[in-house]
Amino acid sequence: MTTTLQTPLEILTHADAGVMTLTLNRVGKKNSITSAMYGAMAEALESANHDPAVRVVVIQGHESIFSAGNDIGDFLNNPPSTPDAPVFCFLRGISTFPKPIVAAVCGPAVGIGTTMLLHCDLVYAGDNAAFSMPFVNLGLCPEAASSFLVPQLMGYPRAAEALLLGEPFMAETALDMGLINRIVPPAEANALAQRQALKLAAKPLSALIETKRLMKKGTTGIVAERMAEEGASFGRMLQEPAAREAFTAFMERRKPEFSRV
């Protein structure tokens, strides 16, 4: 049976054969994510969690762009300042989601476009995928527990290049670091994610859930704690001069001037 749930069109939600697929659908703005989109994704995950017909979730974008990260206009005008802000609800939802999550990533994956992948179980990337976590360049600190998970995944030296320098890295490097599972031509990434999700959906759900829980048991507590600490710093730093300058510069299409901050 195929159902299409009612969510804003910038997040398409489609459920079929035990797989719920969330598609970032704001390509004109490079799939940057607004508060409303985080809210829709958080709600979709919540409903997928409680719906026994959903066994696996797929998150995908477009073959030219996964996500340019948080909508920068939203950061300026509607900054998430409390733990119940939609972005933090989404991050708590994805990081504690008990069923498998498969992602397909093509093109740029900026900020949360990369860090949300740390909470997916299988990640398939197009050979055009470019990952970056430029939080420092925006006067911010990491989110999504990436300050813990990125050094753990890739080791401190490479984490420092990714998180202090904010340097982008391509799919081959992401594969080498263990962030992604496989590289395919961009036109094939979404289809591969669906095939793998269907394979998972055919397995016993209770065994999938228990296996995922056990694999994550060693980090569940620290991830939640770190995410809360990062969120408090992130919310404060959004209001400070360095971030305001970075966002204003992006909107004015100029280089930021950080000499006074």
User: Interface residues with ligand COA (CB under 6 A)?
Assistant: 29-30, 32, 68-73, 108, 110-111, 134, 138
| Beta strand ranges found along 63-164 (DSSP E) | 101-105, 108-110, 122-126, 130-132
Least separation, in Å, of the C-beta of 223 and ligand COA? 19
- 48, 52, 42: which is closest to 89 by C-alpha? 42
Least separation, in Å, of the C-beta of 141 and ligand COA? 11
**Could you give the angle at which helices 156-163 and 146-154 cross, rounded to 10 degrees?**
130
Least separation, in Å, of the C-beta of 253 and ligand COA? 8
Cα–Cα distance for residue pair 208/249, rounded to 1 Å: 46
Least separation, in Å, of the C-beta of 29 and ligand COA? 4
Least separation, in Å, of the C-beta of 45 and ligand COA? 20
Nearer to ligand COA (CB atom), residue 18 or residue 256: 256
Nearer to ligand COA (CB atom), residue 224 or residue 237: 237
Cβ burial, residue 180 (10 Å; 0-12/13-18/19+): buried
Nearer to ligand COA (CB atom), residue 135 or residue 197: 135
Which structure tokens are listed for 24?
């970032």
Nearer to ligand COA (CB atom), residue 65 or residue 102: 65
The length of the chain in residues reads 261
- 112, 167, 169: which is closest to 137 by C-alpha? 167
Nearer to ligand COA (CB atom), residue 74 or residue 121: 74
